[in-house]
Chain A
Amino acid sequence: MDFVETILNLDRRIIYTIVALLVLIPLIKPFSLPIKPTPEVIGIFREIDKLEAGDNILIAADFDPASKPELMPMLEAVLAHCFERGIKPHVLTLWPSGPGLAQQAIERQAEKYDKKSGIDYCFLGFRYGNVAVILGIVSSITDTFTTDYYGTPTRNMQIYQDVDAVRDMDYILDIAAGATVEGWVVYAAEKAGVKMGASCTAVSATAYYPLLQADQITGLSGGMKGSAEYETLLSGKYGVPKGDATKGMDAQSAVHVFIVLSIILANVCYFISLKREDEERRRA
């Protein structure tokens, strides 16, 4: 079997091995390519940056461990951004397997900026019911989430003395691994008249461009790249150290380049084999 046929019938396991190496090596020894923020991500950053100290932002952390590498850095970066500017984040999740990760992120950032639960931020945790929960907090957060994640009654919290519904929020951000963005747009942002941004996995980003064009969301962050862009913006303006997404970008770059090169190689071989078949047919 010559080279062309070897390539066309390449064992999948060889590709798997190369991909594994290309992920591992840049993680161990990064080559730090520059990251240029796109207008979509700037659309989220700018809106949050416009808010003043004491303003409120609603963050929905609708993801689970499976999409942690893509979306967790975004959550951490946005929380850091809020705390840096004195904005009060209200974090909740519609995914049953979401609270664990959100709790890690919010506790880590709150400790870093010395922020107090119930005063500077509130972690509401999980409630069952997807759209029903969204509709609930549109009329009242403290009625829907009578206690926060830690069991403290929300009605008594200082943070909820002036604020009680989605319309009192100054921005909404949905960090979503599934199809929750539409729900937040239709039932929360549109209904309450609050601007909204979306951060989603790279796979589902394409589906939200129509929302972005219709100005139903101000910005869109897709996957780990979007998170890395947000980290870059944050470190550029406030000097906050970059996080996990930036570290992962080298590995992602390497694998993408490999896939593109392998597609090109496979196609070249495909054409050569077509030509050979043609010649053989002519000879026959």
Chain B
Amino acid sequence: MRSYVLLLGLLTFMLVVPGMAAAALPVPTEIEVIDVPNDDGASLGVLWFWRGETSEDTRVTIEIEVARDIIDEYALTVDEADKLQREREALRGKLESILPAMYEALQAAGEIQARLQVAEANKDPDTNQIRREYWSRQREYNRLHAQREKLWEGFLSRTTTHKTGYLDRQQTADYIVATLNNSPWVACSDVEDAKVDMDGNWPTKGEQTGYFGQDPPEADKVFYKVSSFRVLNPAKFAGTFTDAPDDIDYSAPEKIQLKLHPNTAYNLRLVVSEGDEQAIYELGGGTGRVNFFNVSLVNNLIFAVGFGIIILVAIMLARRNPNMFIRRISGLEAVDEAIGRATEMGKPVLYLCGLDPLSTLSTLAAINILGRVARRIADYDSDLVVPQRDPVVLTVAQEVVREAYIDQGRPDAYKEDNIFFVTDDQFSFTATTCAIMMRDKPAANFFMGYYYAESLLLAETGAATGAIQIAGTDALHQLPFFITTCDYTLIGEELYAASAYLSREPLLLGSLKGQDLGKALIMLLIVVQSLLFAINADWNWLKMLVEPL
């Protein structure tokens, strides 16, 4: 249906345009209103071609028919209106009782001031007496004036609630119509000053790759996105109270910005003007719709699904061929050595899961490693101490360690009290953990997971006690501290690989292979793109793949 209307409009233009070509105004042709892909579903787009030259003076306004919306936006519920009205009446009563006294005080102060001036001129002996009287009146006035100001503020605050202006339904409608010269059309804020950009070019469809892709057909079409419009701010216009301030500048009223509602039809029109000349083009209605799929995330989806498949395939291959080569990670080779040493010395092993909650993947990785480490410790029969910062991580860690001890047939050796909650405060946790290191002198310290500024405090204290220290983190800026103070450090992805490495389970190792394949793919992309850049090739599809759409 809409396309027929558009076709009809187009034909009309073609017939009318030759007659108008003599006029200075540029004419938009093939205008269309489109739904713009977006998250909030409250945007429309307007597209058109120009016929004739546009100049710096050409102004384009896209207007929107909105009276109904604004009324809804500003409408009070009956209860709200009643409540505000009651509170206003109470304040009005108080204000009205203060005003006469205030004016009286002002008048009295004025009279005495006149007397004071005469007395001062005559050097009257009563001058000081009169001055005291004047100041006492003036103070009275100041006090009442301050009270009035406070009440007036309260009054104003009850006329503009968080949701509404203080005009009621009928008043709003009257107001809108009146302020807009009997027309329900208002300008959209984002195109109100729709002029050419710095270089004199109109923004075109071809520049909006986010909506239309890199090379859209009809790339020269002018494009505007409409997502909000402006109306005069009703809150600025008092009108229900006689003592309204006089200093409102009605000539340049403040405007407020209102957003388009999703799934609501809006009528649009396009106004082209140059100086006094003006032409109006009705565009009909358009409805902004929420997308069921976020188009701008297409490339993200491609990558996510692609890597997911690569990893799953690698795992399946690993099931067939379980003997895979995995490079030696010295930090993980040292785990047995560290635990063995703790057993020999009869000292405990300290294990930290990082400072982040369970929702951080590195904490999850740390928990996985804890499960493996706990199995070895159960075998070797030494103590495992795990202070915790997050209560959720605490419960999971207790469960993981208990299961590990049961799996190794040593449920008797499990001590729940050794895995305990300290505090969720960063430095209090650090202080406690450092104190445990100083007092109990664990023979091996494991710092796995995500760390912040406390990394050096922990690792340096551990180094001072002479423990073997193995750290693993993806907190990039803490890596240098761990590298300088710990014996072994798992960098970034090694932390995530650790669980698979320690278990030697083919399925887990397979996912590592998949990761490597993914990495190779990314490296290939980087190299190809760099080469293309170097030879100045114009291959936009590659760029499209990696840039946010």
Give chain A's interface residues, CB within 8 Å of chain B: 12, 66-67, 139, 142, 146, 153, 155-156, 158, 161-164, 168, 178, 190, 201, 203-207
Q: Which B residues are in CB contact (< 8 Å) with A158?
A: 254
Pick the residue among B162, B257, B477, B478 that contacts A153 (CB under 8 A).
B162
Q: Is B143 an interface residue, CB under 8 A from the partner?
A: no
A255–B160 Cα gap in the complex (Å)? Answer: 57
Query: Does B235 count as interface, using CB distance less than 8 angstroms?
Result: yes
Please pick, from A139, A153, A203, the residue contacting B453 in the complex, using a CB distance under 8 A: A203
B477 near A206 with CB under 8 A, answer yes
Beta-carbon contact of A190 and B453 below 8 Å? no
In angstroms, Cα B452 to Cα A203, docked, is 10
From B160, B255, B453, give the contact of A66 (CB < 8 A). Answer: B453
Contact A155 B257 (CB under 8 A): no
Residues of B near A146 (CB, < 8 A) are: 162
Name B517-549 residues within 8 Å CB distance of A.
548
Q: Which residue of B lies closest to A152 (CB)?
A: B157
Instruction: Please determine whether A207 and B453 come into contact, CB atoms closer than 8 angstroms.
Output: no
The reply to whether B163 and A155 contact each other, CB–CB distance below 8 Å, is: yes
B464 adjacent to chain A (CB < 8 Å): yes
- Cβ of A212 to closest chain B Cβ, rounded Å: 14
Decide if B380 is an interface residue (CB 8 Å cutoff): no
Which of chain A's residues have a CB closer than 8 A to the CB of B453? 66-67, 201, 203
Cα of A207 to Cα of B162 in the assembled complex, Å: 41
Closest Cβ of chain B: how far from A109's Cβ, in Å? Answer: 25
A156-B235 in contact (CB<8A)? yes
Q: A66-B427, A190-B548, A206-B476 are in contact. Are A161 and B256 (CB under 8 A)?
A: yes
Q: Which residues of B154-175 are within 8 A (CB) of A?
A: 157, 160-163
Tell which of B160, B161, B477 touches A204, judged by Cβ atoms closer than 8 Å: B477
Contact B452 A207 (CB under 8 A): no
Contacts of B161 in A (CB 8 A): 155
Q: Which 9 pairs, one residue from A and one from B, show the smallest C-beta to C-beta distance?
A: A155-B162, A204-B477, A207-B476, A207-B477, A156-B160, A153-B162, A161-B256, A203-B477, A161-B254
Which chain B residues border A162 with CB–CB below 8 Å?
Answer: 254-257
A66 to B257, CA, bound (A): 40
User: In the complex, what distance in Å separates the CA atom of A168 from the CA atom of B161?
Assistant: 23
Shortest distance from the beta carbon of A130 to any chain B beta carbon, whole Å: 11
Cβ-closest chain B residue relative to A140:
B259
Please judge, given known A-B contacts A190-B548, A201-B453, whether A164 and B477 are in contact too, CB under 8 Å.
Answer: no
State the CA gap A12–B460 with chains docked (Å). Answer: 11
20 CB contacts below 8 A, A to B, read: A66-B426, A67-B453, A139-B40, A146-B162, A153-B162, A155-B160, A155-B161, A155-B163, A156-B157, A156-B235, A161-B233, A161-B254, A161-B256, A162-B254, A168-B257, A178-B452, A203-B453, A203-B477, A206-B476, A206-B477
Distance A189 CA – B235 CA, assembled complex (angstroms):
31
Known contacts A155-B160, A156-B162, then 16 further A-B pairs from the complex at CB < 8 Å, ordered by chain A residue = A12-B464, A66-B427, A67-B453, A142-B162, A153-B162, A155-B161, A155-B163, A158-B254, A161-B256, A162-B255, A162-B257, A163-B257, A178-B452, A203-B477, A203-B478, A206-B476
Residues of A within 8 A of B426 (CB): 66
Complex: chain B residue closest to A147, CB-CB: B162
On chain B, the residues within 8 Å of A206 by CB distance are: 476-477
Residue on B with the closest CB to A202? Answer: B477
Interface of A is mostly: helix
| Cβ contacts under 8 Å, B476 to chain A | 206-207
Residues in B neighbouring A178, C-beta threshold 8 A: 452
> Which B residues touch A67, using CB under 8 A?
453
Q: Which residues of A contact B162 (CB under 8 A)?
A: 142, 146, 153, 155-156
**Cβ-closest chain A residue relative to B258:** A164
Of the listed residues B233, B257, B426, B427, the one surrounded by the most CB atoms of chain A closer than 10 A to its CB is: B257
Contact with A along B417-428 (1 / 0, CB 8 A): 000000000110
Which single residue of chain B is at the shortest CB-CB distance from A163? B257
Instruction: Please give, as numbers and ranges, the residues of chain B lying within 8 Å of A12 by CB-CB distance.
Output: 464
User: A164: which B residues are within 8 A, CB to CB?
Assistant: 257
Complex Cα gap A156–B257 (Å): 13
Residues of the B chain whose Cβ atoms lie less than 8 Å from the Cβ of A163: 257
* Shortest beta-carbon distance from A159 to chain B in Å: 11
A-side contacts of B477, CB under 8 Å: 203-207
CA distance A178 to B476 in the complex (A): 12
| Residue of chain B at shortest CB distance from A97 | B425
Residues of B within 8 A of A153 (CB): 157, 162
Residues on B with C-beta less than 8 A from A207 are: 476-477
* Complex Cα gap A206–B548 (Å): 24
Give the docked Cα–Cα distance between A142 and B257 (Å): 12
CB distance from A247 to the nearest CB of B (A): 22
Q: How far is the CA of A146 from the CA of B235 in the complex (A)?
A: 17
B210-267 interface with A by 8 A CB criterion: 233, 235, 254-257
| CA–CA, A207 and B476, complex, Å | 6
In the complex, what distance in Å separates the CA atom of A232 from the CA atom of B40? 43
Q: B160's closest neighbor in chain A, by CB?
A: A156
What A residues does B464 contact at CB under 8 A? 12
B168 to chain A: closest CB distance in Å? 18
Closest A residue by C-beta to B426: A66
A residues less than 8 Å from B257 (CB atoms): 162-164, 168
Interfacial chain B residues near A161, Cβ < 8 Å = 233, 235, 254-256
A178 vs B464: C-alpha distance when bound (angstroms): 27
Q: How far is the CB of A266 from chain B (nearest CB, A)?
A: 13
Q: Which residues of A contact B548 (CB under 8 A)?
A: 190
CA distance A155 to B157 in the complex (A): 11
CA gap between A204 and B162 in the complex, in Å: 40
Who on chain B is nearest to A205 by CB? B477
Q: In whole Å, how far is A192's beta carbon from the nearest beta carbon of chain B? A: 12
Tell me the complex Cα distance, A12–B461, Å: 11
Whole-angstrom distance between the Cβ of B114 and the nearest chain A Cβ? 35
Which of B40, B235, B426, B452 lies at the interface centre, i.e. has the most chain A CB atoms within 10 A of its CB? Answer: B452
Chain B positions within 8 Å of A168 at CB level: 257
Minimum CB distance partner of B190 in chain A: A167
Smallest beta-carbon distance A201→chain B, Å: 7
- Complex CA distance for A206 and B476, rounded to whole angstroms: 9
Nearest-CB residue, chain B, relative to A12: B464
B266: min CB distance to chain A, Å = 19
CB distance from A267 to the nearest CB of B (A): 14
Task: Report the minimum CB–CB distance from B88 to chain A (whole Å).
Answer: 15
Contacts of B163 in A (CB 8 A): 155
Minimum CB–CB distance for A194 against chain B, Å: 15
CA distance A156 to B548 in the complex (A): 36
A204 to B257, CA, bound (A): 39
